[in-house]
Amino acid sequence: MAEDNSKFDVLAPCGVYCGACPSFLKSCMGCASESRDQKRTSKWNCKIRNCCYNKDKKFCFHCEQFPCKIFSKKLLHVHHGDPAYAYRFELPVMLPALKGLIMDEYLSFQQERWKCTCGGTIRFYTYECDLCGKKQLVDYRSEIKL
């Protein structure tokens, strides 16, 4: 089941950092949130989320079957080649390297990774800071040892 501590709601079971999503804290409280008090409801039918939680895993990459057909079909075969969705296509390479991290470490990694030099957050799809507007490519390869 999802972590009781809501500070981790910002981490989706698939490994995506919801904090960089433009909808986060507006219409959505994060993919791991169990709160029914939000406008975004697609998470309740997410096959990745349901599979992960039904196996009692926090993240897909904790599963011995990672990356499975569900993960690949839902994240990697949709929007293929679209640079706005680059954050999805790095997951199969990045996540196994992070497998040993505890939740706090993974959360810190993602928060730092998507933080702009001005202190704002770089958002998915545009890769633009929500405070200063600067465009930035977020590259995981310089931040972890693969």
In a domain, 1, yes or no: no
With beta carbons less than 8 A apart as the criterion, state whether 76 and 92 touch: yes
Q: Give tens-digit pLDDT for 74-83.
A: 887 778 778 8
HEC string of the chain equals: CCCCCHHHCCECCCCCEHHHCCCECCCECCCCCCCCCCCCCHHHHCHHHHHHHHCCCCCHHHCCCCCCHHHHHHHHCCCCCCHHHHHHHCHHHHHHHHCCCCHHHHHHHHHHHCECCCCCEECCCCCEECCCCCECCCCHHHCCCC
Is the predicted pLDDT of residue 68 greater than 70, yes or no? Answer: yes
Is the predicted pLDDT of residue 3 greater than 50, yes or no? Answer: no
More confident residue, 4 or 107: 107
With beta carbons less than 8 A apart as the criterion, state whether 126 and 84 touch: yes
Is the predicted pLDDT of residue 88 greater than 60, yes or no? Answer: yes
> For residue 4, what pLDDT is reported?
47
> For residue 122, what pLDDT is reported?
94
- The model's pTM is 0.83
Q: Give tens-digit pLDDT for 92-144.
A: 777 777 777 788 888 888 898 899 999 999 998 999 999 999 998 766 555 54
Is the predicted pLDDT of residue 15 greater than 90, yes or no? Answer: no
Q: How many domains does the chain have?
A: 1
In a domain, 60, yes or no: yes
Provide the residue range defining the domain that includes 98.
6-142
CA-based diameter of the chain, in Å? 41
> For residue 139, what pLDDT is reported?
62
In a domain, 82, yes or no: yes
As a whole number, the mean pLDDT across the chain is 83
